[in-house]
């Protein structure tokens, strides 16, 4: 059921990803202008991710009727398939952000979705099915939902569940999202729909990120007042300046509880680029042009935390083990599960982008 109140009015808030999770959702990829070779390599990778998560927690996958049998044959029997219409498979951005209250009730938030920029710089023209996914997932979960009156994607926000929200100015203040809203108005709406008390603003996201700098590709909130930040020491890498800007912004601010923010640096893989075969394997479209030699917006921060497990994208033999070592040291109670996910990266995101956790 759609509610006419707001989460803040009703005493609901957005919990942290490191709090207990009951279920994880994905959506099955098939779009040929985003996933190469008729999406078959991406489907195998999505299945590997879903099956790995299913060892830890319940997994549901939204799928079109035409892809149902294919998905069923590739996914573990415990993975639940739900027939649903959608335009592309970024469940983090099209699925609901689930909020909770002090007595453990859950409700969903359905954000306005416009394919990362609408008519200004959106990645495809028709996003009408995507915009309905959050409400549909809430119906399947049997929970009520709120419809937020502004454009937002789940990948654009991270929270500590303790009053602090992390985001980037590049994304939330981009002309394709909510040009009629000021920064202060956006902050007020985030407080109203996520029950947060403070927004920690970072200037920009990761270099060459076609989502206009989603925060989940730049950093990950891993504990109260503790973040993992994408980093490079190569002064010739465009990310060099962006990571230092983010580090400065985090260092100059405290969280909602007045705590200084601990920053764990994790290297960016690569740099990585589209190969000729990868670029040519995608059907051309207006919004999503892929070119041989184009830099991929690759990040180890784009992992998923589920019940003391980290599902980490493996992207670069040179850095994979280093990333695992850094996370294991920073989060000794967590088991790091590495999954090769270059095929997801080719579509413009990674494990965090294709998943949406449902809090316990």
Q: Are 134 and 110 in contact (CB under 8 A)?
A: yes
Catalytic-residue membership of 353: yes
CB distance 225 to 255 below 8 Å? yes
Cα dihedral 304/307/308/313 (nearest 10): -20
Give the count of beta carbons closer than 10 Å to the beta carbon of residue 34. Answer: 24
Separation of alpha carbons 327 and 301, rounded Å: 10
Nearest by Cα to 233 from 319, 132, 337: 319
Can you count the helices (H) and strands (E) in the chain? 13, 17
User: Which residue out of 151, 173, 353, 358 is catalytically annotated?
Assistant: 353
Strands (E) in 113-194, as ranges, are: 145-151, 158-159, 164-168
CB-facing half-sphere around the CA of 161: CA atoms within 13 A: 18
Catalytic residue annotation: 353
């Amino acid at each position: 059921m759609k509610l006419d109140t707001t989460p803040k009015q009703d005493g609901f808030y957005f919990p942290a990803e490191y709090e207990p999770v009951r279920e994880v959702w994905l959506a099955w990829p098939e779009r040929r202008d985003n996933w190469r070779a008729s999406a078959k390599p991406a489907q195998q990778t999505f299945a590997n991710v879903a099956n790995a998560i299913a060892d830890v927690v319940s997994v549901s996958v939204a799928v079109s009727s035409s892809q149902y049998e294919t998905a069923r044959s590739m996914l573990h029997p415990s993975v639940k398939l739900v027939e649903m219409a959608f335009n592309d498979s970024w469940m983090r951005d099209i699925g609901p952000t689930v909020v909770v209250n002090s007595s453990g009730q859950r409700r969903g938030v359905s954000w306005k979705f416009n394919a990362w920029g609408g008519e200004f710089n959106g990645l495809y023209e028709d996003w009408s099915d995507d915009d309905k996914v959050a409400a549909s997932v809430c119906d399947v979960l049997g929970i009520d939902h709120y419809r937020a009156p502004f454009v937002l994607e789940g990948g654009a926000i991270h929270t500590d569940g303790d009053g602090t929200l992390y985001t980037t100015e590049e994304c939330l203040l981009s002309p394709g999202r909510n040009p009629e809203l000021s920064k202060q108005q956006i902050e007020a709406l985030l407080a109203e729909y996520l029950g947060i008390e403070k927004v920690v603003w970072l200037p920009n996201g990761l270099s060459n990120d076609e989502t206009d700098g989603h925060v989940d590709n730049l950093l990950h909130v891993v504990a109260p007042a503790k973040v993992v930040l994408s980093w490079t020491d190569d002064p010739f890498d465009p990310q060099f300046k962006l990571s230092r800007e983010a580090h400065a912004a985090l260092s100059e601010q405290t969280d909602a509880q007045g705590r200084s923010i601990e920053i764990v640096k994790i290297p960016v893989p690569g740099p990585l680029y589209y190969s000729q075969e990868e670029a040519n394997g995608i059907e051309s479209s207006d919004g999503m042009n892929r070119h041989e030699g184009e830099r991929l917006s690759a990040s180890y921060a784009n992992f998923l935390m589920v019940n003391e497990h980290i599902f980490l994208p493996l992207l670069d033999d040179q850095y994979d083990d280093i990333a695992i070592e850094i996370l294991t040291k920073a989060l000794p109670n967590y088991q790091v599960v590495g999954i090769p996910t270059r095929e997801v990266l080719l579509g413009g995101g990674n494990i965090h982008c294709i998943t949406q956790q449902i809090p316990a």
